[in-house]
Amino acid sequence: MENNTITRKKRKRIWPIEIIAGLFIMMIVFFIAVNVDIKTTQETLSDTAHYINEQCNSFTRLNLASETKSLLRVIESAQQIKHNITYERSLSDKDIFTEEFIKKNMQECYLTAVIIMDSKGNLIAQEYTDEYGADELNEYLDSTSLIDVVDNTEKTYAIRIDCEDGSYVDLAACGMADSSGIVVVYYHTPAEYVNNYNLSFTHILSGYDDREDGKIVVTKGNQIIASNDDSMVGEDIDKYNVIKKIKETGASGKIVHADSNRRWGSHNYGLMERGRDYYVYVYMPERNVFKTTPRNMQYTFVAYMFAVLVLNMMRWKTVQGYEREQYEMQQQYAKTLQEKNEQLQEAVRREEKANAAKTDFLSRMTHDIRTPLNGIIGLLRIDESHKEDTDMINTNRKKMSIAANHLLSLINDILQMSKLEDGQIELSREIVDLNKLAKDIITIVEQRASDSGVNLKYDKVAGKVMYPYVYGSPLHLRQLFLNIYANCIKYNKAGGMVSTYFKCIGTQDGIVTYEWTVTDTGIGMSEEFLEHIFEPFVQEKTDARSVYQGTGLGMAIVKSLVDKMNGTISVTSKEGEGSTFVIRIPFEIASKVEEITDDKEKSSNDISGIKILLAEDNELNAEIAQTLLVDEGANVTVVSDGEQAVREFTRCAPHTYDVILMDIMMPKLDGIAATKAIRDMERPDAVEIPIIAMTANAFEEDARKCVEAGMNAHLSKPLQMDVVVGTIAQYYKR
């Protein structure tokens, strides 16, 4: 009885201690959890702010480099016009500052305006192509710095002028050789181009959710120029109390509790980081900062209650269990934190790589696509100015055709490389006659080599092919070798040689391996470049894109195709002497195939009198196709979409039309759906009538989809009339 009383007394003495101890422990855990959450938040916000700041600085440097390059170009243009003036004055004493002379120089240098002033800055002559003339630039034209160039012919003046509409003007000036005046030129970049092509900060923040990652704000002066909350962009920072209080601390990278004078839980924690030209603010509400604190408090309370219960039975075990539990919690927290940090770092690396790849791709493709387009536009302008000169117009048309074909080749290479990288290219398994394939390739290559002044030397493949019939993908084999030959011819010298040697490596288990060795006597490649030859968009010299008209994708496509065929390709080269490509490809041996007479060759290509239903939504394409087909003697009815094509075919009596030419991408009903609808009709000609696809999608996968939909053939745009006529004649049965 006495022991029970003592026990009860001890229990009475212990429970206040347990309560006090429990409260003390809860306070400690609360303090630690709060500090850990704040520290974690500070690290997260600091990492985010630092990354955004670095990206802003990088973009600033890139934009500055772009501005410098643009100013150098207009400086060179001013110097060129100065030299042209000096040359013209040496030929004649007459006034050379005519409208024709100035416009000619302006067009040759791709300028917006050319302004000629005397040595005191008075306007002599000016020509410009848009609304920004000398009157709008008086402030800069009257500047002392610009006028000073007249006294020193080696001195130049250049400045970028930002306009109110978001466009800008790159202006340069230099004194004439005899110090008699000043040449001022400028190029005006429209706001639309600036918005489309200049680097901006907006996409840096596109991956951040303001509800999870907090608010991210980039400011310049007192204005917000970027944020993951679009409603804040363009606002003054004084409008936001949180940003003002973070700014007032003046400490970069230090977390601040920004009181927004609202109820608890709506206040924010944030920090700022100073950049070269910008301030980056990152902050989030308290409820996001202390996400783990309530949970840790709950865990601690449950653990303590469990410990108190067990302590009454076995104190020492309770202590050990509690310590072990605390240790495991800390380890788990540390592990989770480490995993989150690693995930964040990996995300940052992926973002940086994606940004670099996108920037590089845009830079390259802008140049490569604009080059042939500029040529075509320029030749059209020349034709417009010389309507009477038939010979010049015919010559220019040939040049435009070459430029257009180059642009088409560029687009096809980009799409082909994209499909290869995404794994969308599937090799077909067809019986291939290697002798015939070699003849077809050589026939194409001979013409290209002849046009470039390059000689071809090759083995007579027939007779050396041990197993001429193999299983393979003829389309991709042809593309592989045409790309290699194109590379050898393009980078060869006038009078150079491209040699091809063929041999069988061996056979095993029904697989034969052939080797092709293609050698050229061209400009060759350096050892450093050979390590990167199969990488997309890579070329030996920085000026190769302009000189040799290439995309840098040809060899990357070759390597991808060879890999898909389980083959190998190796390259050796020496600068100034040439290069050697060795291709080894294994093939499954096929049984000998009897030669079949090609009905296409026997059939006549006469389509006169054939009644054709043409479905094409583009008026220009429809007009071109109709005119060319009518020139061949066909009768053509045009409809503008798939729905009209089905309606027209249904309306007419059976066998009214002999052939249907069907575009694929059309409004209301596309070509695939329209074909299926026609094939499903219960009338005899619905199954028999040839339906031929016409589409800009030129890949084998697209042709396969057309055939699966019930079409007979697939023609890729731009249309080649000999192919169109031959295909129609092949499938039409008179």
Opening angle at CA 99, ends 97 and 101, nearest 5: 60
Burial class (CB in 10 A: 0-12, 13-18, 19+), 733: exposed
Other Cβ atoms within 10 Å of 539 Cβ, number: 20
Residue 428's nearest CA partner among 467, 469, 475, 468 is 475
Other Cβ atoms within 10 Å of 262 Cβ, number: 10
Name residue 269's beta-bridge partners: 257, 284
Q: Are 172 and 74 in contact (CB under 8 A)?
A: yes
How do residues 405-440 score in pLDDT, each as one tens digit?
Answer: 667 666 766 665 565 555 556 677 888 888 888 887
In degrees and rounded to multiples of 5, residue 587 shows phi and psi of: -130, 145
DSSP-assigned letters across all residues of 131-167: S--GGGGHHHHT-HHHHGGGG-TT-EEEEEEE-TTS-
Q: Could you give the CA distance from residue 727 to residue 454 in angstroms, rounded to a whole number?
A: 33
pTM of the model: 0.40
Q: Could you give the CA distance from residue 643 to residue 663 in angstroms, rounded to a whole number?
A: 12
In degrees and rounded to multiples of 5, residue 59 shows phi and psi of: -65, -35
Q: Which amino acid would we find at residue 569? A: I
How do residues 335-364 score in pLDDT, each as one tens digit?
Answer: 888 888 888 888 888 777 656 655 655 666
* Those residues with Cβ within 8 angstroms of residue 512's Cβ, 6 or more apart along the chain or in another chain: 466, 467, 470, 504, 506, 586, 587, 589
Q: Are 466 and 504 in contact (CB under 8 A)?
A: yes
Q: How far is CA 225 from CA 271, 278, 330, in A?
A: 18, 9, 41
Pairing of β 691-695 and β 713-716: parallel
In degrees and rounded to multiples of 5, residue 12 shows phi and psi of: -65, -35
Three-state DSSP class for residue 581: strand
Rounded to a whole number, what is the distance in angstroms from the first to the last CA of the chain?
A: 121
| Mean pLDDT, all residues of the chain | 80
Q: How many CA atoms lie less than 13 Å away from 41 in the CB half-sphere?
A: 30
Q: Which token pair is 204?
A: 């840096």
Q: Which amino acid would we find at residue 726? A: G
pLDDT block averages, 10 residues each, the chain of length 734: 48 71 83 83 82 79 84 90 85 79 87 88 84 70 85 86 82 87 89 66 69 81 81 82 79 75 66 82 83 82 80 68 83 89 84 62 62 76 84 83 68 62 67 85 79 81 71 83 86 88 88 91 82 69 46 74 89 88 91 50 70 91 89 92 93 92 90 92 90 76 80 82 86 72
Q: Which token pair is 675?
A: 């074909």
Q: Could you give the CA distance from residue 99 to residue 117 in angstroms, rounded to a whole number?
A: 15
Q: Are 589 and 470 in contact (CB under 8 A)?
A: yes
Q: Could you give the CA distance from residue 79 to residue 519 in angstroms, rounded to a whole number?
A: 45
CA torsion 636→642→648→650, rounded to 10°?
130
Pairing of β 469-472 and β 430-433: antiparallel
What CATH fold (topology level) applies to the domain 16-313?
Beta-Lactamase (3.30.450)
Other Cβ atoms within 10 Å of 601 Cβ, number: 8
| Superfamily classification of domain 599-731 | Response regulator (3.40.50.2300)
Q: Could you give the CA distance from residue 656 to residue 660 in angstroms, rounded to a whole number?
A: 11
Q: Which token pair is 201?
A: 């900060």
What CATH fold (topology level) applies to the domain 426-589?
Heat Shock Protein 90 (3.30.565)
Q: Could you give the CA distance from residue 529 to residue 534 in angstroms, rounded to a whole number?
A: 10
How do residues 379-398 score in pLDDT, each as one tens digit?
Answer: 888 888 888 888 888 888 88
What 3 state SS string does 271-297 have?
Answer: EEEECCCCEEEEEEEHHHHCCHHHHHH
**Taking the mean position of all CA atoms in its chain, how far away is CA 346?**
22
In degrees and rounded to multiples of 5, residue 200 shows phi and psi of: -135, 170
**Taking the mean position of all CA atoms in its chain, how far away is CA 596?**
46
Q: Could you give the CA distance from residue 409 to residue 478 in angstroms, rounded to a whole number?
A: 15
